[in-house]
Each structure stands twice: as C-alpha cells, then as structure tokens.
Amino acid sequence: MRTISRKYNMLKIYGLVNKALCLVFMMFVLSCENKTNELPEKNDHVESETGGLEFDRTIKICDPTGRKITPFLTGINTVYAHEDMRTWDDGKKLNHLKNSGISALRYPEGHQVSFWDWEFPYHFPYQDFWKPQYESTLTQTKLDELKEDNKNRMLIDDYFEICKEGNIERVMGINMFQGWMYNRKQEAIDKAVRLVEYCLEKDPEITYFFLDNEAGHQQNSVHLDIFPLMII
C-alpha cells in the first residue's frame, strides 16, 4: 500500500508540474507585445546549397530580450544502427545539419545506448549482447556475418568526423544497463573506461557523456530508485 500511495502522489505532482508549465508558457506568449506574424512578401522559398527548395519564412511572436540561451538548445539524436554512411557521401545530410542550426548531436542514440556494444557495434538493434543465450551463439563465423551485414553503420569515428566538419558538440552515450542486467558490473565499468579513453584519444574536444537513457523504460528494466545507486 505504501508503494501504491507513493506512486499516486508522484502522479499528482507530475500533473501539477505539467499544469504549471502550461500556465507559464501561456503567460509568456500573452506577454509579448508584438504577436503579429511577419512573413516576407517575396522569396517565400530559396534554393538551398543541396539543390532542394527550402522555405524562408519568419514568425515573430515578441521582441528579443537580448539574453543568451544555451548554445546547446537545438540538439538531435543520431541512430547509429539506422544510419548508412553511404548516404552521407554527397555531403547533403551534413549541409542540412549546418543549415538547420543543430548545435549538439547525441550518439549512438537515446534508448539504444543501453543495448550498444561500442567495441562490436554490429549486433541487431536492441539486442542484449550479454544475454547468455545470445552470447553463446556468437561464433567467429557469426561475428563475421554480423560485421559484414552491418558494415555501413555509423561508427564512432564517422560520428566524430561529422561533428568536426559541422562544428557540432559531441554527446556520447555510455552503456551501464547491460552490466546491471547480467551481473557484469565491473566489466561494464571497464568497458566504459575504455570508451572514454578511446573518445579522448580520437577527439580531445569531447566534453559531454551520458549514462544510459530513459532508465526504467527498458525491457526487464532497472527501477528508477535503483538506477542512481547502480551508477554510483
């Protein structure tokens, strides 16, 4: 009963926070002096560097305050298992990143980081690579097949090159979930240390790392109360 009561109280708190955020947003919009949309009469669209049409419209909802917002506000994910590096060869994707003002790029993704083996990034997506039933099937032949089938994925070196060329902040994920899931915590820690050392060697400018993502969402997941203790 205590657990149910605590969860109910948390839901009430989340509901109040959401309502408060909505109210703050509405007050912000209503407080703007100039709420008119300013749309250019001409040049509704222009040719982009990549040859496609891109809209050039401005919507103004209030006067600028002059205060600086964090430069990392506009960030997106990569999805290493879905990115075929051959689609980056013509430079169009990188140009789109530059033109859109993306300032931070997260790798290898969000949720997938908890299933990502950075030293062998060729497993199927969301595969528990330390699951005994799966690990026992990884003969050298099987490993070679996986690597061949997924050889065009975005790897760490590809990611660093894209970030450097686009002047984009690196945000690198660390997988601690597999170590907790299969009672191989020290191996997970050692693997994480090797990852950080590799990243610093390849790209000394990297600053930001994150540990897993959406804790509590994974299948057979670690409870939110346990996750901080697991990391410590």
Whole-angstrom Cα distance, residue 105 to residue 172?
9
The tens digit of pLDDT for each residue in 18-77 reads 555 555 445 544 444 444 334 344 444 444 454 555 556 666 777 777 777 777 777 899
The tens digit of pLDDT for each residue in 60-78 reads 777 777 777 777 777 899 9
Whole-angstrom Cα distance, residue 63 to residue 33?
7
Q: CA 32, 37, 39, 44 torsion: positive or negative?
A: positive
Residue 21 buriedness (CB in 10 A; 0-12 / 13-18 / 19+): exposed
**Minimal CA–CA distance to 116: which of 10, 211, 25, 228?**
211
Query: How many CA atoms lie within 13 Å of 9's alpha carbon, on the beta-carbon side?
Result: 6
The tens digit of pLDDT for each residue in 136-166 reads 999 999 999 999 999 999 999 999 999 999 9
Whole-angstrom Cα distance, residue 163 to residue 173?
15
Please, are residues 105 and 80 in contact by the beta-carbon 8 Å criterion? no
Overall size of the chain counted in residues: 232
Pairing of strands 104-107, 208-211: unpaired
